[in-house]
Structure 1
Amino acid sequence: MCDDAGTPPPPPGVTRRGVMAATVLAGGTALTAAAAGTAAADRGMPGAGTGSGRPPRGGTLIIDGGTLLDPHTGRVTEDAVVVIEDGTVRAAGTRHATRQAAAAVRGRAATVRADGRWVLPGLVDAHVHLTTLTDAHRAVRLGATSVRSGSTPFYQDIALRELARWTPRRAPRMRAAGVFVTPRPGDTLLADPELAPLARLKDGVRTPEALRRVVEVNLARGADVIKTRANERAGSPDEDPLTQVYDREQLSATVAAARRGGATVLCHSYSEQGIHDAVLAGVASIEHGVYLGERTMHDMRRRGTFLTPTLAAMASLAADPDPVLAERGRLFLPTARRAVRRAFELGVPVAAGTDSSGGVIDPIGREIELMRAAGLPALDAIRTATTGAARLIGLERTAGRLAPGFRGDAVLVEGDPLADVSLLTAPAAVISHGFTVED
C-alpha cells in the first residue's frame, strides 16, 4: 500500500518548486511555461505571468508549384498551390481552385517556390524522446512537425510543448507524456516533490495506488498521454526485453487512472504475453511489439489498438558496438518487420515512430523507409507518418494532410516519394505552422 494512497492528486498546474527541480536536473534545458511566465514577470516583459498573453499567430505563406500529395485520398495534383494564412491551410489544390485564397493573402504572404518538388503534409513521429532544444529543432528540421513523446525524465517534453507554441520553427508540436510509469523510476522521482513518497515503496511502483499516483502527478503537471511498460528494455544489455514487469491487472490500473483524466496510454512491449496483456488492458498503442502474435493482432484490429514498431530504433540497435545489443537488434529487426507486415495485412492500424533519444535524432522518413521495406505499399508507408500517426495521437483534424482547416505544416522533397520513399529522410524544405524552418 502506498503511504499517500488516500491523499488527493496534486493541484493542477506546475509548482514553482517542481519547475526549478526539473530545470536544474535537466541541465537547464527544460523551462515550463509557468517558469517562463514567472521569469518574464520579474523582468517586466509584456504579457508576462502565467495565464496571460497568447502565442503569436502562425505564418502566412504560399507554396507555389510542385506536386501535391494528399495521403488521405492518395490524390496527386501537379502544379499545385497551398495557401497558408496565420498558420492554417486555407486552400490546397490546383492553381485555379486556389486562386481566390492566394489573391486574398498575396500582399502579405511569403512565397516558397516548389517547382520540380513534391509537397506533402508535415510528418508525425508517434514515439520520440526529446529532452533538449537541439534535439527538438533537429526533429522538426527533419520533417517531424508533430510528435508524441515517449516520456522524458524531468518533464522536458511538457516544457518543449509550450515552447513549440511560441516558436514553431524550433520545436515540433508535442503531445507530452511526462515521466515514465515504470516499476523502478530511479532519479525520475526527483522530477516532482509529489513523487517523493514513492521512494519508500520496497517493491517499487507496482500497487494500484502507486500506479495511480504516478498517473495523477503526470496529468496534474500537464501530460497529454501516459507511457508505461509491459517488459524490460531492449537497449540495455543488462536487461531482458522479454521479461514482463507489469501484468494485465497492473496495466489495467494505469489505463483506468489515465482514462479518468482523459488520457490514453502507450505501452512499451516486446513479449507476446506482455503485448497481449497490454492490449486487453486497453492501451491505445503497442510500442515496439516485436513478438506480436496473430491472436493479439486480431484483438488489436477489433479494439483499434495501434502498433508503433519503432523499426529505426531496432536498426540502430543492430549497429550498436555492444555485441549483446547488436545481436539483439539483428534478431529483432526482421522479426518486427514480419509482425508489421502481417499486422497491416490484418487491418491493425500502424503508426510511425523513431524512438529517437539522447542526442541522436533519426529522421521520421527513415521509419517510413523501413515500413516500406517491411512490405507496406509506398502510400501506406507514408500514411503511417501522416494520417495514421495523426489519428493515434489525437491530431487527425489538424495534422497529416494539407487541406483547408489543417495546420500549415509541410515537407518538400526533391522527387516522387511514391517511387522512392527514402526521399523523405532528407526534406529539401520544412514548413511549420506557416513558417519556414531553418537549419
Structure 2
Amino acid sequence: MCVENTPPPASRLTRRGILAGAAALAGTTAALSAVAPRTAAAADDGRTGRGPSTGRATTGDLVVEGGTLLDPATGEVTEDAVVVIVDGVVRAAGARGRTHVPDGIEKLDAHGRWILPGLVEAHIHLSTAAEAREAVLKGATSARSGSTSFYQDIAVRELARQVPQLAPRLRAAGVFVTPDLGDTILADPDLTPLARLKDGVRSPEALRRVVEVNLARGADVIKTRVNERAGLPEQDPLAQVYDREQLSAIVAAARRRGKGVLCHSYSEKGCQDAVMAGVRSIEHGAFIGERTLHEMKRRGTYFTPTLAAMAGMADSSDPILAERGRTFLAAAKKRALAAHEVGVPLAAGTDSSGGEVDPIGREVELMREAGLPALDAIRTATTGAAKLLGLETRAGRLARGFAGDVVLVDGDPLADVRVLKSPKRVVRSGVAL
C-alpha cells in the first residue's frame, strides 16, 4: 500500500491553522501576548523597540564597550573594544580609539569581561517558549532545530522573528522523518494517510510525503535518521532503520526545494550510507569511520557530534544508558578530533530536549576536551555552526552587518573555554537581557 494518489499538502489556510495549534502547544502565542503591551509602548514613546504594533521585530540600539573582543573568524583579540549596534545590527566593532560611537545610544559596560558573538547551537529540540528563552539566556542566539513532534519549532522560529529576545534565530526542522511517526501522525491531517501503511514510513512515496508536508508547513531543514535511538535502553542505536536508497529519496525530496537534511546516525555503515545519500550533516556519529570522514571532507558534509548529550546519558540512573553514554562519549570524542584533523567542518550542538536546556558552552568544553585547540572549539559554536545554518554573513562574528547578538563572559575563553558555559550577559538583536 502506498500514498501515490494522496492529494498534495493542503493550502496556506490549513497551514495557518496547523501552525496556530503548534504555537499554542509551544506557548509562543502567550509569550507574544505578554510582550505586546511593552513593545507597543516602546514604539509609542520613541524608543527603539519595534514589536507587534508595527509588524517589525523588537530590536535595539546599544554600545558594548570596554571589554576584550574576540573575532572567532580571525582569532584577533582587541582590548578596550567597542561594538556599536544600531537597530539590532552591528555598525562597527573595534578598538575604542578607532571606532566611532554615535551619541545618545545606551551603553553596556563590559570592562573586565570578554566580548564574543552570540553562540550558534546546531542541534537542539525547542518545543516551548520557555525552552527557547532559556537557550538564549545560556548564550545560544542562533540555532537549528533537531525536530519537534507537532511543529512547535516553526512556532518558536516565528516568535524569534517578532521578539528576538524570546528565542534564538532558528532554522526549524518540523517533524521527524522516521519509520514510526507515533503520535506525530496527529500533528497534521496531511500526515494521516500514512497511518494505514503497514510497514510505516519506508516507501519512496511515504518518505517524500513527510518531506513535502514539512516543507509545506515552512520547515527550513529536514531531519531524518539512519539508526535507532541511543537514549532509549530498549533500542539498539547501531541498528539501521533506513538504507542508502531510502535516505537518497529523502535528500532528493528536500533538494527539490533547496533544503538540506540532517541525519541522526551512530554506526559506521549508517553514517557512510547517509553521507553517500547526500545529507548536509551527520548528527552524533559516535562510530563514524575514517573512510567516511574523508568522504565528508570531500563533499563538505558537516559533523555535529552532540557530545553533551552523550555526557548526559553517561550520568543516567539507568545502568544500560550510563554504560552506553560512557562508551559513546569516548568514541565520539575520538571521532570529533579525527574529523577536525581530516578537515571535516564541525558544528556544536547539545541535542537538548525534554525541557532541559544545556548551555552550548558545554559542547564547546567537550570539543576542547576531545583535543581541539581552544579557538577551533569556539569556532564550532560560532563561525562553523553559522555556516552550516546558512548564517555565515549574519551570525558567528561581531563585524559590520552582522546581527547584534553578544555574549559577555568572565575570563579569557582562549585560556579556558569553560567560561562560555555561564555567560554573564547576553545581548540579542541589540537588546541587553
- Normalised-by-shorter TM-score class: over 0.9
- Is 165-174 or 386-395 further displaced after alignment? 165-174
Any conservation in 2 of the 1:5–1:210 contact (CA below 8 Å)? no
Q: Is 1:202 paired with 2:203? A: no
Question: Alpha carbons of 1:420 and 1:14: their partners in 2 closer, same or farther (altered >3 Å)?
Answer: farther
Residue 166 of structure 2 aligns to a residue whose secondary structure is coil
- Rounded to whole Å, the distance in 2 between the matches of 1:354 and 1:139 is 11
- Rounded to whole Å, the distance in 2 between the matches of 1:413 and 1:172 is 19
Which amino acid in 2 is paired with 1:29? Answer: G
Which amino acid in 1 is paired with 2:432? Answer: T
Partner of 1:352: 348
Shift of the alpha carbon at 1:3?
2.9
Any conservation in 2 of the 1:63–1:113 contact (CA below 8 Å)? yes
Residue 97 of structure 2 aligns to a residue whose secondary structure is coil
Matches within 5 A, 1:10-409: 10-12=10-12, 15-19=15-19, 21-22=21-22, 26=25, 29=27, 31=29, 54-99=55-100, 102-103=101-102, 106-107=103-104, 109-409=105-405
Any conservation in 2 of the 1:287–1:308 contact (CA below 8 Å)? yes
RMSD between superposed Cα atoms in Å? 2.1
Question: Alpha carbons of 1:52 and 1:254: their partners in 2 closer, same or farther (altered >3 Å)?
Answer: farther
Q: Is 1:418 paired with 2:419? A: no
Residue 394 of structure 1 aligns to a residue whose secondary structure is coil
Any conservation in 1 of the 2:147–2:223 contact (CA below 8 Å)? yes
Query: Could you list the per-position Cα deviations for residues 158-177 of structure 1 after superposition, in whole angstroms to 9, with x for gaps in the alignment?
Result: 00101111211111111000
Question: Alpha carbons of 1:347 and 1:13: their partners in 2 closer, same or farther (altered >3 Å)?
Answer: farther
Which amino acid in 2 is paired with 1:280? Answer: M
Query: Could you list the per-position Cα deviations for residues 326-361 of structure 1 after superposition, in whole angstroms to 9, with x for gaps in the alignment?
Result: 110011001000000011000000000000011111
Residue 96 of structure 1 aligns to a residue whose secondary structure is helix
Query: Could you list the per-position Cα deviations for residues 113-148 of structure 1 after superposition, in whole angstroms to 9, with x for gaps in the alignment?
Result: 000100000000000001111111110000000000
- Rounded to whole Å, the distance in 1 between the matches of 2:20 and 2:157 is 18
Query: Could you list the per-position Cα deviations for residues 8-33 of structure 1 after superposition, in whole angstroms to 9, with x for gaps in the alignment?
Result: 33334653442455356x3x625599
Which amino acid in 2 is paired with 1:9? Answer: P
- Rounded to whole Å, the distance in 1 between the matches of 2:27 and 2:7 is 32
Structure 1 stretches lacking a partner, 5+ long: 41-45
- Rounded to whole Å, the distance in 1 between the matches of 2:346 and 2:15 is 37
- Rounded to whole Å, the distance in 1 between the matches of 2:15 and 2:410 is 47
Which amino acid in 1 is paired with 2:3? Answer: D
Question: Alpha carbons of 1:427 and 1:69: their partners in 2 closer, same or farther (altered >3 Å)?
Answer: same
Any conservation in 1 of the 2:315–2:322 contact (CA below 8 Å)? yes
Any conservation in 2 of the 1:146–1:172 contact (CA below 8 Å)? yes
Any conservation in 2 of the 1:2–1:201 contact (CA below 8 Å)? yes
Which amino acid in 2 is paired with 1:22? Answer: A
Partner of 1:432: 428
Any conservation in 1 of the 2:22–2:155 contact (CA below 8 Å)? no
Any conservation in 1 of the 2:247–2:277 contact (CA below 8 Å)? yes
The number of residue pairs the alignment matches comes to 418
Any conservation in 2 of the 1:14–1:221 contact (CA below 8 Å)? no
Which amino acid in 2 is paired with 1:11? Answer: S
- Rounded to whole Å, the distance in 2 between the matches of 1:209 and 1:114 is 55
When normalised by structure 1's length, the TM-score is: 0.92
Question: Alpha carbons of 1:31 and 1:273: their partners in 2 closer, same or farther (altered >3 Å)?
Answer: farther
- Rounded to whole Å, the distance in 2 between the matches of 1:22 and 1:307 is 30
Any conservation in 2 of the 1:181–1:229 contact (CA below 8 Å)? yes
Question: Alpha carbons of 1:16 and 1:304: their partners in 2 closer, same or farther (altered >3 Å)?
Answer: closer
Shift of the alpha carbon at 1:239?
0.6
Any conservation in 1 of the 2:23–2:155 contact (CA below 8 Å)? no
Percent identical across equivalent pairs? Answer: 65
